[in-house]
Chains A and B, each alone.
Chain A
Amino acid sequence: MSRFSLSRRGFFALSAGAWLSAFSSARASASRLAAIDWAMLETALAMGIAPVAATELIQYRKIVIDPPVPEGTADLGLRGAPNYEMLRIATPDLILSSNFYEPERAALERIAPVVSAPVYLPGSPTYTLAEDAARTIGAATGMEEEAEKLIARSAETLVHHAERLAPLKDRPVFVISIGDARHFRAFGPDSMIGDALARLGFQNAWHADTRYSAAASVGFEALARVPEARVIIVEPIPPDAGPGLEGNPLWQALPMVREGRVGVIAPVNHFGGLPSAMRFAELMAEAMEAGRG
C-alpha cells in the first residue's frame, strides 16, 4: 500500500510543474507527511511534498485551490476535529501542525512526531512567520533547499507584482471578504493577506488588527472612512449577498463603488502561508490591471 502511494506521489511530482524539478533529488529524504494546519499544508505542497493525509480537503479545494492537493491524499475531516483513525491508517511519519492546534498535540503525537510552527502570533509579521514555517518544514524533512527556494520564489513573486502594480499604489486598499448583504470582514495588517498587501507596496486602508483572519464583522459604511481607497473582494460571496449589494443604496453611494474601484478576486486561503501570499499577489495584480484597463 505504501509503495502505491509513493509511486502516486512520484507521479504528482513529475506533473506538477517545472519548479518541482528539484523534487526527485530530495525525495529520498522526504517523508510521509500529514498536515493538520492549512498554512503548513499549502507550504508543504509548494515545496513539492505530497502529504498522505490532510484536513478538510473538500473545503480546501473550494477556497484554497492552489497549490492543488493530489487525488490520493486522505481527507482527515474538520481542522478542529481531525479524524485520528484515518490519520493512523495513513501511517504518516511526520505531522505538520500549528499553534492553533496545540490542544490536539498530545493526541497527534501518539501517531507520529509533530512539527508545529506558529502561523500567527500577535505582534509578529505573519509573512516572516510563514517563511520560518517553510524553514521548519524543510528542516524536519531534510528539504532545506526546497524551503529556501520557496522563500526566494515567494519573495520574487511579490517583488515582480509590486513592480507591475507600482502605478496603482496611489491609493490605499481594503481587502475584504463578504459576510452578508450588510457586513464584511477586513484583512488587517496582521493577517497574511494584509502582510502580502504591504509587501506589494500598498497601504492597507484597514488599520486595526484583525488577528490573523477571524475578525468580527463590520457594516459596509466602515469603508467610507477611507473614501479614496480601492476595494478588493475575496470570493466566495454568499448567495444572498450578491443581489443584496445591488439593492444596497449605501454600498452604491460609496465612492469606490461609484467610481469603479472595486475588484473581485478568486478565493484565497484566509489562514494561509507563502503560497497564499503568492496567489493573492497574482490575483490582485490581475484584478487591478483589469480594473484600470
Chain B
Amino acid sequence: MAEKSRTRQPFLWGGLFCLAAFLTALQVAGQGAFRFTGLAAGTGTLDRAILLYGTLPRIAAALAAGAALGLCGHLLQRVLRNPLAEPTTLGIAAGAQLAMGAATIYLPAAMAWSREAVALGGGAAAAGLVIALTWRRGIEPVSVLLGGMMITLTASAASAALILANGEYMFSLFIWGGGSLVQQGWGATISITVTLAIVAALSLLLLRPLTILGLDDANAKSLGVALNTTRLLVIGLAVWLATTVTAELGVIGFVGLAAPALARLTGARTAGRLFAGSMLVGALVLWLTDSIVQLFSGAGGERIPTGAATALIGAPLLLWMLPRLSMLARPQMGDASAAYRAPSPRRLIVLLALFATVAILLAMAVGRGPEGWAVAMGELFADLAQWRGPRVVVAAMAGAMLAAAGVILQRLMGNPLASPEVLGVGAGAGVGLTAALFLFAAPGLPLRFGFSLLGAMIALALMLAIAAKARFGRGHLLLAGVAMGALCSAVLTSVIAMGNMQSFELLGWLSGSTNGATWADAAFAAGAAALLVLPLPLARRWLEILPLGDGTASALGLPERRCRVVLVTASALLTAAASLLVGPLSFVGLVAPHVARRIGLPVGLGHLAGAVLIGGGLMVVADWLGRMAAFPYQMPVGLFAALLSGPYLVWLLGRGVPSGPGNAT
C-alpha cells in the first residue's frame, strides 16, 4: 500500500505543481494582454510594477505562507503528539485576530507600530492558555484541541462583539473573515520567509537530538534530554511563525493541518522527510488554492477570500482523514457514570426553577434608561412587558431547546462533549438559512425554519454517518464537528463577503439577536419548545439505554434504529428552531447539560429538566446582560452567551475533573 502510494506520489505532486504553474502562467499572460490594450503612456512601467509588486510577490507569499503554515502544523503536531494540531485548531489564529481587533480600536498606535508584535501577543496568549490548562494532563491531544476550539469560538465572539460595539461591522468583518493573499510589494513575503528560515533552523537544532535517537518522550526523559523545555521552545517558535502569517495575510485555516497529513499519506515517513514534506506540500497547496481563487475572481474582486477557500478545501479533507487517524483518547470531561448525584434531585430542580424565574423577573423588571438604572413596577412594568416579554420568552425557549438538543446528542453519542454548537449543527442550520435567503425574495418564518431544519439535518446526518465508521472514538466525532463547523462557517464567510442584503441579514443572524422579537416570534418559540421538549420525557428510556452501546439496547428489546432516527430528528428540529432565533454561536447546548451534571443531576429526567432550566435561565441572563452592558447599544444574545459559556468551558477543561465536589463514587 505504502509502496503503491510512493510510486504514484511524483505523478500526483508533479501534476498539481504543473496545474498551479499553468494557472499562474495564465494570469501573467492575461496581464501581458492588458499591456497592449493600455491607453495612456507609461503603462509599460505600470505593468512591470504590477508584475513585480503584485503578481510575483503574491506567488511568493503563497509559497512562503504555505510552507510556514505547513511547518507550524508539523512542529505543533510533533511536539504535542497530536495529528490535528495547527494554528487554527489551537486558537492561535483567533487569538492573534482578537488582539489585532482590540488594538485597532483601543490602541491604534500599537497597530501602526507593529501588527506582527500585536498578533504574536494574542497568539501566544491563546496557545499559552491552552497549554497551561492541559499541562497537568500531559497536554493530552483531545483536551488540547477542545481547549483550542473553545478559545477560538470565544475569541471570535469577542472580536465580533468588539466590531459590533464600535459600529464598524460592515467593512472590517469582510477583511477579517478570511485571509487574503493580495500583495503590493515584497514586505510580507520577506517577513514570512525570514521568520520561516529562523524557525526552521532553530527547530531543527532543537529537535535534532530527538530525531537522531528516534526517541519518544519517555525514553528521551530517561536519557536526560530536557524535554519539556524543548517542547515549549518549539511551540513558541511555531506560534511566532503562525502569528507572523496571520499579521501579514489574515487567517488562513487548515493548511497547517492538511500539509503534514498529505505528506504522510503520500509516503513521507521519517521525521526529516515529514519536516521538509510538510513545507513543500503546504507551499503547493496554498499556491494552488490561491491560483484557483484568482481564476474565479471577477472585476469586483475575488469571490471567495483565500482564507475561506482553504477551509472549504481543508475541512472536507479533515473529515475524510479522521477515520484514518488512530489516536486520540476519549475526552475526560464530565463522565456521567462517575458523576456526583444530588441526594434530592427534586429539590435541586425546584431550586433551578427558582433560578430561572429570578432570571426572568430580573430581565423583565430591571433595566437601564436615559436616567440610569431603574426597577420597573406596576404600570411601567406592564408597558415594558410588551418589549421585554417577547425577547425573554424567545431567549428562554431557545436556551431550553438548545439544552434539550445538547442532552439528546450527548446521550445519543455517548459523548459528554457533543452539542449542537460543537457538532456544527447550528452552523449547518445557518447554511440552510442562507439558501432560503438566496432562493426566495423575502422568506417568511416558515420558509426560514424549513431551510434551517434542512441544513441542520444534513449536517447532523453527515456527522452520524462519520460517527458510524468503525473504530471511531469520541474524539474523532468532536473533531469531525469542528471540521463541519469550519466548513459551514467558510460558506457563511464567503456569502457575507459578497456584501449584499443577504449578507447584512446573515451577519445579524450569525451574531444572534432577540432584539426584534415580537409576540409572534415568542409564540413560535414557545410552541416549538412545547412541541419538542415536553414529549422528551417519553423518550427517557431510550436516552438511558442508548449510551450503553448497541448490544444493550437490542438486548433490552428497543427498536434501536427507530429510536436513533427519532432522537436525531428531534435534536435537529430543536437546534434549527433555536438557532433560527438566537444564532449558532451560543454554546448553551453544551454548557447547560454540563452544569446540570456537575451540580448533581447526571441522569434521567432530572438531567433533562435541569439542563432545560439552566439553558433557559442562562440565555435570559445573557440577553439581559447584552442589553445592559453598553446601553443603549445592544450586544446580541448569541455572542453574550458564548462569552459567558466559553470561559466556563475552558476552565472546566483546565480542571479536567470528571465532576463536582462530591466526586466520591
Against A, the Cβ 8 Å flags (1 = close, 0 = not) of B45-87 are 1100110111000000000000000000000000000000000
> Could you tell me if A83 and B634 are in contact, using CB atoms closer than 8 angstroms?
yes
> Could you tell me if A182 and B104 are in contact, using CB atoms closer than 8 angstroms?
no
Q: Which of A56, A82, A249, A255 contacts B515 (CB 8 A)?
A: A82
Complex: A56 Cα to B109 Cα, angstroms: 25
Against A, the Cβ 8 Å flags (1 = close, 0 = not) of B168-185 are 111110110000101111
Which of A185, A228, A239 is packed against the most chain B CB atoms within 10 Å?
Answer: A239
Which residues of B sit under 8 angstroms from A228, Cβ to Cβ? 39-40
Q: Which of A103-117 contact B (CB under 8 A)?
A: 103-104, 106-107, 110
Complex: A133 Cα to B545 Cα, angstroms: 63
Instruction: Indicate whether A210 reaches chain B with its CB closer than 8 angstroms.
Output: yes
Complex: A239 Cα to B115 Cα, angstroms: 11
Which residues of B sit under 8 angstroms from A210, Cβ to Cβ? 300, 499
Instruction: Indicate whether A17 reaches chain B with its CB closer than 8 angstroms.
Output: no
A224 → chain B, closest Cβ, in Å?
Answer: 6
Complex: A220 Cα to B38 Cα, angstroms: 17
Chain B residue at minimal CB-CB distance from A226 = B39
Which of A215, A216, A224 is packed against the most chain B CB atoms within 10 Å?
Answer: A216
Against B, the Cβ 8 Å flags (1 = close, 0 = not) of A227-241 are 110000000001110
Complex: A80 Cα to B46 Cα, angstroms: 43
Against B, the Cβ 8 Å flags (1 = close, 0 = not) of A54-88 are 00101100000000000000111111111111101
Known contacts A77-B633, A85-B369; A227 and B516 CB within 8 A of each other: no
Complex: A243 Cα to B111 Cα, angstroms: 10
Complex: A102 Cα to B50 Cα, angstroms: 44
Instruction: Indicate whether A254 reaches chain B with its CB closer than 8 angstroms.
Output: yes
> Could you tell me if B300 and A81 are in contact, using CB atoms closer than 8 angstroms?
no
Q: Which of B187-202 contact A (CB under 8 A)?
A: 187
Known contacts A183-B180, A227-B42; A211 and B500 CB within 8 A of each other: yes
Which residues of A sit under 8 angstroms from B298, Cβ to Cβ? 208
> Could you tell me if A211 and B504 are in contact, using CB atoms closer than 8 angstroms?
no
Complex: A244 Cα to B209 Cα, angstroms: 42
Which residues of A sit under 8 angstroms from B185, Cβ to Cβ? 247-250
Which residues of A sit under 8 angstroms from B54, Cβ to Cβ? 219, 221, 250
Instruction: Indicate whether A222 reaches chain B with its CB closer than 8 angstroms.
Output: yes
Chain A residue at minimal CB-CB distance from B187 = A247
Q: Which of A76, A179, A227 contacts B171 (CB 8 A)?
A: A179
Instruction: Indicate whether B560 reaches chain A with its CB closer than 8 angstroms.
Output: no
Known contacts A81-B515, A85-B387, A218-B301; A58 and B167 CB within 8 A of each other: yes
Q: Please report the number of residue pairs spanning A and B whose Cβ atoms sit closer than 8 angstroms.
A: 185
> Could you tell me if A179 and B175 are in contact, using CB atoms closer than 8 angstroms?
yes
Which residues of A sit under 8 angstroms from B632, Cβ to Cβ? 74-77, 83, 86
Instruction: Indicate whether B452 reaches chain A with its CB closer than 8 angstroms.
Output: no
Which residues of B sit under 8 angstroms from A248, Cβ to Cβ? 184-185, 187
Q: How large is the interface on A (under 10, 10 to 19, 20 to 34, 35 or more residues)?
A: 35 or more
> Could you tell me if B174 and A216 are in contact, using CB atoms closer than 8 angstroms?
yes
Instruction: Indicate whether B33 reaches chain A with its CB closer than 8 angstroms.
Output: no
Chain B residue at minimal CB-CB distance from A215 = B499
Complex: A225 Cα to B47 Cα, angstroms: 10
> Could you tell me if A103 and B300 are in contact, using CB atoms closer than 8 angstroms?
no
Instruction: Indicate whether A166 reaches chain B with its CB closer than 8 angstroms.
Output: no
> Could you tell me if A216 and B442 are in contact, using CB atoms closer than 8 angstroms?
no
> Could you tell me if A222 and B301 are in contact, using CB atoms closer than 8 angstroms?
yes
- Please give 13 more A-B residue pairs, beta carbons under 8 A apart, in addition to A83-B632, A219-B183, A239-B109: A58-B167, A76-B632, A78-B633, A89-B370, A179-B172, A216-B174, A217-B301, A224-B49, A227-B38, A227-B46, A228-B40, A247-B185, A255-B46
Q: List 22 A-B contacts (CB under 8 A).
A: A77-B634, A80-B169, A80-B507, A80-B508, A81-B508, A83-B627, A83-B633, A84-B515, A85-B387, A86-B369, A100-B504, A106-B518, A106-B520, A107-B515, A107-B517, A179-B171, A214-B500, A216-B301, A217-B175, A219-B184, A248-B185, A250-B185
> Which residues of B pack against A, CB within 8 Å?
34, 38-40, 42-43, 45-46, 49-50, 52-54, 104, 108-109, 111-112, 115, 164, 166-172, 174-175, 180, 182-187, 298-302, 367, 369-370, 383-384, 386-388, 442, 497-501, 503-505, 507-508, 513, 515-518, 520, 627, 631-634, 636
- For the complex of A and B, list the 5 residue pairs with the smallest distance between their C-beta atoms, beginning with the closest: A239-B108, A250-B184, A219-B182, A253-B49, A250-B53
